[in-house]
Each structure stands twice: as C-alpha cells, then as structure tokens.
Amino acid sequence: MSSELLLLRGITKSFPGVKALAGVDFTVRAGEIHALMGENGAGKSTLIKVLTGVHRRDSGDIRFAGKPIDPRSPSQAQSAGISTVYQEVNLIPYLSVAENICLGRYARPWIGWSGVRDRARVALKRLGVELDVTEMLSRFSIAIQQLVAIARALDISARVLVLDEPTSSLDEGEVERLFGVMRRLKAEGLGIVFVTHFLDQVYAVSDRITVLRNGKLVGEFEAAALPRLQLISKMMGREVSELDFAGTRASSPAAQSEVQDHSAGEAARVPMLQLRGLGRKGSLKPIDLDVAQGEVLGLSGLLGSGRTETARLIFGIDHPDTGRILIDGKASAVRSPLDAICHRFGFCPEDRKIEGIIPNLSVRENVVLALQASQGWTRYVSRARQLELAGQYIKALNIVTPSAEQPVRLLSGGNQQKVILARWLASHPRLLLLDEPTRGIDVGAKLEIEKLMARLTAGGMAILFISSDLEEMVRNSHRVVVLRDRRKVAELGPGQISEQSIMHAIAAVAE
C-alpha cells in the first residue's frame, strides 16, 4: 500500500455567515490519483485553497511527508512541494513556452536563455511532451497549454499535484493524453489530487475518491469498490434506500398532448422549441431536445454535466459549433441574448448576483431591463409605465421591498430572484430558462416560485427548469432530460420520473 504523503485533519474554515469546512479529513498517498468530489457548495474549492495557502484555516492540522506545515501563500505551498494547476490556464500567452515554465525562476543577476530553454525541455520531457519551447504559448492548443502548466508546476520538484477541473475544456483525445501524463506521474510516486465533475473520468483514472457535501466529509472510498449509484447518492445526500418510490408528476394537458402525438409519430402540433444536434466543443456534445408550450422540461444532472451550457446556447450567450435551433418548427438564428429576447425567451441565470441583477439599480430599473431591450432604446419605456410594471410585479410576486426605488442589492436573495423573474415576465416570454431558480432562498420564497411556474405553464408558457435538487425536479417537471459528462443520456416521460430513475440514469455506465 502507498505511504501517506499528505494528511489534513479536522480542517475548518468559516466565512461571514457560512461554515465552508467543518472538521474535514483528507489524505493523499504517494503514487496515487485521488479524486475530490462534491456538488456546488460542497467545500472542494475551499479545501484546495486552504491546502495551497490561499485561505488560512481556522483550525485543524496539515502534515506533509510526516512534518507539520502551515502554508500562508501559494508560494509557500509550492516551496513545501504542493503545486496546483487550475481550470483556467494561469500562464502568459504572449511569452514563450520556456519563459512560462521558468518565469520567476531565472538565475540571477542575469538570465541565461540557453539554460532556461534546456530547463523547459527537461520539464516537458518528464511528461513525454516534445515541442518547440521558443514558440509563443498562445500558438498552442488549450490541451498543450495545460501540459505546459503542469510542467511548470512540477519544475519546482512538487510531490503533490492538484489538478482543479483540468479536463473542462478538452476533447476526448486530449483528455486521454492528459490521463497518460497523470498515470506517468503516478508511477513516479507523485500524489495527484484530481478535482472533477465527470463520473466517467473519475472511474477511468482514480484510485480513491473523497466525497464532500455541505462542507463536511461524507467519506473516503476505494474507487473500484464504490458503485456509481452509491457515489451519486453520497454527493447528493440521498441514500438509495430512500429513493425506492415512484413519486412522479402528471404532465400538463398541453405538454401531454404534444408528447403523446410526437411519440405516436403523428403530424402533431410542433414543439415550441427544438434543438437538433446542438453542441459546442469543450462545452456540450450534440444534443436533441424538445420543449412544448405549457410544459416544464426538467434538465437534470450533476454539476458540470452540461445543464447550464445548454441554457447558454439556447439564449445566445455562447455560440454552437454544430446543430440548429428550431422555433415553431422553423430554423431560427439565436446569435445573441438580444436575438433570444426578440424571440421572447427569458433567462434567469444560476448566479443571480453576478449575471442576474444590476445591484446598484432600483427594483423598477431591474424589472424593465428586458422589456426596454426588446423595444430598442429609441422606444423608451416611460417612467410612468416603468412604475406601473414594477408595482404590478411587486404585488403579483409578493416582492418584499419598501418601494420600487429600493436598490435591488438591499433585498434578500429570494426577493432578488423574484425581481429577475419579474424582469422576464414583463417582456411576456414564450420560453423561460430557469437555472437553479430556488438555490439559496428560503422555503417560503421557493414555494412561491414553484407555484408561479405552475401558473405560467398553465397559461401556455414553456419552461426549461434546471435544478440540483432531485425532489424539486420530480415535483415540478412534466418531463426530465438527464445529462452526464456533457451529453444527453436519458429522457424520462410522464409516469417515469422519480429520484431513483434520475439517479440511475446519471449513474449508468456509458456504452
């Protein structure tokens, strides 16, 4: 059995109002690849930042090679032998490969360029990579840049390598090349921490798996002995034994009619939205998907499965490489969010504070943004009309605010979410994309939003609903499409939707 190289014991870390880590243990052995798994808010990023000196822990111990360490900065962690390569390649594209690998490590007081180039070649050769180290980094693919970042991380004699979502922008061939490098380093005795959301990749390369949930340690497991369904249940906090029920929801009449007609192959009413082979390299495999008027189509899967990426493609934030979007059966261009708004689409993003609200604007100004954009800035929405709309939706959605002129940043999270919903409802959308609309809000606000979804679909609106909460997904969806590792793996119709069926679809081994 491999020796223990890195030990974290009883690590705690709190931020104002949040306990990010609560007594977490984590062990990395020499010569192993150890996957760190968990959904949003599990504590993975915080644990890595404590380990690498970005954050100071509140309590707990860290031992490296049998000795206590206390990294107070990333450079101190690197000096101790712990290096990190992040999801976004943190290098300088307009310097050469050699300069990036050796940056800040040149011999002083002068730079011996021949030695720098030789040092870079040696670092890359260790990974089995040969390339012209004098070439500018930006001329190489993201996959090669990732390998250059790993070479730089290992150049300081690192013994533990943390890879934080290293495969998120790589295609399958590039992932296999990276895995070859990881196995090579494992054989040299390095301990590798592999942070990822891709189940297939975890089982392809990992020796052990540690699962965190809500800042707490769920457990540490041998990868070969942990079935996929058990892993998913531990990440989601739902034991498989609790899920043996058929808690399904009946489809709405409008959606049910379209689903039945479509499955029967009849010349039926065309779904409001159709995706055909829509995909984007490094983001989403080509997907087919229909959304009918009057239905909530649930989009389920683990974090990183491609749920948000699908919504961003539909709304024109990202541009597809393949496939097409059909609206009412006709191919339609959605090249930007403005195009989407003109097609009467609305989008409530997952991160409402960064991508949703305009914090320094008032409730009134936030509510009318989409309507004003759809009309164009030459057809200004009068202040009287703005006040009328804001008042209407403050009342309709029960938004708790002293007035329509209150800065939206001063509202609670649930009321901010309602303001974003009001923004889109004011533009009378046909399709509403809801990405985690109830995350981080209180139970009362969550219930109000779920009731609103039911009212909107009863009135004929189509909703694409993304949620990590399985109970919520089952309770609110007429149909559910399940994604895993950026591809569609299942579609569950009326009578098939349950927490168990969704988890089984996520866990199923890819053919």
pLDDT in tens, 138-173: 888 888 888 888 888 887 778 999 998 888 777 778
The whole-number pLDDT of residue 298 equals 95
Confidence at 177, pLDDT banded by 50, 70, 90: confident
Q: What is the mean pLDDT of residues 37-51?
A: 87
Give pLDDT tens digits for 186-203.
999 999 999 988 888 899
- Confirm if 483 and 298 have CB atoms less than 8 A apart: no
CB 5 within 8 A of CB 160: yes
Question: Each residue of 416-445: pLDDT tens digit?
Answer: 888 888 888 888 889 999 988 877 666 667
| Residue 485 · residue 199 · CB < 8 Å | yes
The mean pLDDT of 319-331, rounded to a whole number, is: 93
Euclidean distance between the first and the last CA atom of the chain, given in angstroms as a whole number = 32
Domain with CATH 3.40.50.300 in the chain: 4-242, 255-293+302-469+480-486
Work out the average pLDDT over 446-459. 85
Cβ atoms of 58 and 252 within 8 Å: the answer is: no
Q: What share of the chain is helix, strand, coil (3-state, %, to 5)?
A: 40, 25, 40
Evaluate if residue 244 carries a pLDDT over 50: no
pLDDT range class, residue 265, cuts 50, 70, 90: very low
Work out the pLDDT band at 220, boundaries 50, 70, 90. very high
Structure confidence at residue 42 (pLDDT): 84
Q: Which class is domain 255-293+302-469+480-486?
A: alpha beta
pLDDT at 313 over 90: yes
Q: Where are the alpha helices (DSSP H) in 206-288?
A: 228-236, 253-263
How far is 8 from 60, CA to CA, in rounded Å? 7
Q: Say how many C-beta atoms besides its own lie within 10 A of residue 175's C-beta.
A: 18
2 pLDDT exceeds 60?
Answer: no
Q: Is pLDDT of 246 > 50?
A: no
Q: What does pLDDT average to over the chain?
A: 84
- Residue 299's pLDDT band (cuts 50, 70, 90): very high
pLDDT the model gives residue 110: 55
> Which residue's structure tokens are 């150049």?
155
What pLDDT does 30 receive?
93
Q: Which fold has domain 4-242?
A: Rossmann fold (3.40.50)
Cα gap 50→70, rounded to integer Å: 9
Cis upstream peptide for 109 (omega within 30°): yes
Q: Could you tell me which residues come within 8 angstroms of residue 404 by beta carbon, excluding any fewer than 6 positions away?
A: 362, 363, 364, 367, 387, 390, 391, 394
- Spatial neighbors of 153 by CB under 8 A, at least 6 apart, are 83, 84, 85, 161
pLDDT digits (tens, 9 = 90+) for 98-135: 888 887 766 555 566 777 888 888 888 888 888 888 88
Give the global pTM. Answer: 0.68
- Tokens 């994604």, located at residue: 483
